[in-house]
Amino acid sequence: MSEAGTAGAAPVVTRSQVWLGRTARAVSGLAVLGLTVVVVVAGARFPAEGTDSVPTTVVPVPPTASTLVCAGPLIQPDDTGRGDSAFDPTPVDPVTTVTVVTSVPDADGSTAGTVAPLDRSSVTATLAPGGTAAVVQGVTAPQVVRAEPGSAPARVAAVSAGLVTAGDLRGLAAASCQQPTADAWLLGGATDLSSTAQLVLSNAGSTPAEITLEIWGPSGPADLTGERFLVAPGAQRVVVLGGIAAEQRRLALHVSATGGRVGVHVQDSAIDGFTPAGTELVVPGSAPARRQVVPGLAVVDSAVGDLSAPALRLLAPGDTGTTAHVTLLGPAGVTELPGAASVDLVPGEVTDVPLGGLPAGTYTAVVDADQPVLASAVLTRPGSVGELDDVPSVERAWAASTAVGRSGVVAVPAGTRGTLVVGAVAPGADPAAGGSATATLRFFGSDGSVLTERRLRLAAGTTGAWSVDQLAKAAGEIVVTDPAATLDPSVRAGVVGVDLVTDEGSEVAIAWALVAESDQPDGVLVSVLDPVPVPRTTPDVAVREDPRLGTR
């Protein structure tokens, strides 16, 4: 082959040269892509030259209105008005009232509130701006209390009270109005032959609420076959628990709501033959936890083995059993009760621990376990023997477990006398460990004004009880240190509400409740009221504009 022919021919490219060329092009492409990413990231992190840094603006979040749902009149027995006057289960009509007390910090003069039916079709009562107290008589339906805020959420409490002086429903059935919830645990009531338990669901919202139930009894969980209940907006629904979980001597319920929040309580009543054995409202308590605290145990003398003696109700709702250690904090410290200090709990089985033989006084029950448990207590008051009765009547009241260390407000039911019961619970394994609890008390009069303000100091492991009227009447600033102070029941100061503010630096937590009593010719009627927690103030939010958003 000539040199000319060789020079004009296409060059020979080897396989290795082809791969080298492809590799070079790939590397070049990756380099370009990497450079692009660097430029984009740099532009995102570093604004264009000349762009000033955007300042942060603090946007205050205004407090919202407070809403409470109040139970309506007691549900009457099905055989009311049957014409047999000798055995009429309701010879007298229940008297139902709603008492409201509010305190609005730094009200601007335009804030107020209302009391209205669930459907808001009318206004039952109007609350004055700033602070007020109101008593609504002759309540015929569940009510909703709405309190507008000032510079902070309103400090508001309300109580619905049904008073029945004779018949099957004899008793003082009172409960603090509650903030609507989507999750509630209730421990109390029964559905055996001598008892009636009715679950009452009140929807004050604007959307339907679908309710699912879990029920436990003395033999374990009840089979409800997946039943669900729909509660319409602005309506109330009653579920007869004996129809879905019959013959349960002890009850515990878990109520879950989707789509809306509801007010929840159980109307619990019992009879002994033809003799009334108490009517009360069971309200939600604390969710399952390894420590439960039940305040407000105001007991009278009872004997060991007395069937009408007070009792502590316990449940381990999970799949694991546990041992509950019960500590009773009394006026002088820890009170020993043989047989009740340590209780073995079978998972899912509701257990009652009798408190018969406990010395008369006021107590706080502290229940500790290594598994989450529920706790509540039932109190009793003996009555007299009626003309047609073989045994004395009995009054009962349920006390729920509550959160400790929280400020709150409680209203005193109209026509009753109130006793403030406060327990000081140390945070460690020993609830009676050293230290003291401190708080500030304010007492509201019938016009909503603050009658007086008091300081409270209580040693850890003790429970104190004081007449709210007597505390409001005391002259000058006092420090309450003697939980066994003598009370004068004749003192009347017209207290309609108590506001308790715990000190932030208090080394010992406070658990408290109000015991309301009504004196009747045939005995004392009683209810235990939990304080209504004060809504927490929402912190301000810091915001700033993102300079990368929008176009130039």
pLDDT digits (tens, 9 = 90+) for 326-355: 999 999 999 988 878 899 999 999 999 999
Residue 382 has pLDDT above 90, yes or no: yes
**For the chain, domain boundaries:** 17-63+537-552, 66-533
Which residue, among 460, 88, 425, has the nearest Cα to 286 in the 3D structure? 425
* Cα angle: 183, vertex 530, 330; to 5 degrees: 120
pLDDT tens profile 117-136: 999 999 999 988 878 899 99
**Per-residue confidence at 479, pLDDT binned at 50, 70, 90?**
low
Does residue 256 have a pLDDT over 50? yes
CA 269, 272, 278, 282 torsion-angle sign = negative
| Residue-level pLDDT at 545 | 65
Nearest-angstrom CA–CA distance, 376 and 367: 10
Q: What whole-number distance in Å separates Cα of residue 461 and Cα of residue 448?
A: 34
Report, as an integer, the average pLDDT of 397-405: 95
Residues 450-457, mean pLDDT to the nearest whole number: 89
Band (pLDDT 50/70/90 cuts) for residue 1 is very low
Which value, to the nearest 10 degrees, does the dihedral of the CA atoms of residues 386, 390, 393, 394 take? 170
Pairwise CA distance, residues 243 & 441, whole Å = 45
What pLDDT is stored for residue 482 in this prediction?
Answer: 58
Query: Cβ(258)–Cβ(275) under 8 Å?
Result: no
Beta strands in 165-288 (DSSP E): 171-176, 183-187, 195-203, 209-217, 220-221, 228-231, 235-240, 252-258, 263-272, 275-282
Residues 376, 121: Cα–Cα separation, whole Å:
36
Question: Which among 316, 420, 410, 304 is positioned nearest to 370, based on CA atoms?
Answer: 316
DSSP letters along 37-98, please? Answer: HHHHHHHHHSPPTTPPPPPPEEEP-PPPPEEEEE--SPPPPTTTT-S-GGG-S-SS--EEEE
Token reading at 234: 């602005």
Give residue 40's pLDDT.
40
Task: Indicate the burial class of 28 (C-beta count within 10 angstroms; 0-12, 13-18, 19 or more).
Answer: exposed
Of 36, 77, 335, 347, which is closest to residue 195 (Cα–Cα)? 77
Say yes or no to pLDDT of 44 above 60.
no
pLDDT band for 305, please (50, 70, 90 cuts).
confident
Written in H, E and C, the secondary structure of 293-355 is EEEEEEECCCCCCCCCCCEEEEECCCCCCEEEEEEEEECCEEECCCCCCEEEECCCCCEEEEC
**What pLDDT is stored for residue 396 in this prediction?**
95
Beta 479-480 vs 450-459: how paired, if at all? Answer: parallel
Quick one: pLDDT band at residue 227, thresholds 50, 70, 90?
Answer: confident
CA-based angle 376:382:386, to the nearest 5?
A: 135
Instruction: Give the pLDDT score at 550.
Output: 56
Buried b / exposed e over 175-205, threshold 16 CB at 10 Å, is bbbbebbeebbbbbbbbbeebbbbbbbbbbb
Whole-angstrom CA distances from 146 to 9, 154, 396, 405, 410 are 98, 10, 30, 25, 16
From 481, 158, 513, 466, select the one nearest 364 (Cα to Cα): 513
Q: How confident is the model at residue 281 (pLDDT cuts 50, 70, 90)?
A: very high
Gap between the Cα atoms of 333 and 330, Å rounded: 5
Distances 29 to 37, 80, 220, 301 between C-alpha atoms, Å: 13, 90, 70, 91
Question: For residue 55, what pLDDT band results from cuts at 50, 70 and 90?
Answer: confident
The DSSP line for 143-199 is EEEEE--SSS--EEEEEEEEEE-SSTT-EEEEEE-B--BSEEEEE----STTEEEEE
pLDDT at 91: 86
Mean pLDDT of the chain: 85
pLDDT value of residue 534: 87
At 316, which amino acid appears? A
Based on its alpha-carbon atoms, the radius of gyration of the chain, rounded to whole angstroms, reads 32
Predicted pLDDT of residue 493: 72
Write the pLDDT tens digit of every residue in 148-187: 888 888 899 999 999 999 999 999 999 999 999 999 999 9
Amino acid at 205: G
Single-letter amino acid, residue 25: R
Q: How far apart (Å, rounded) are the C-alpha atoms in residues 53 and 47?
A: 9
65-79 core/surface letters (b: 16 or more CB in 10 A; e: else): ebbbbbbbbbbebee
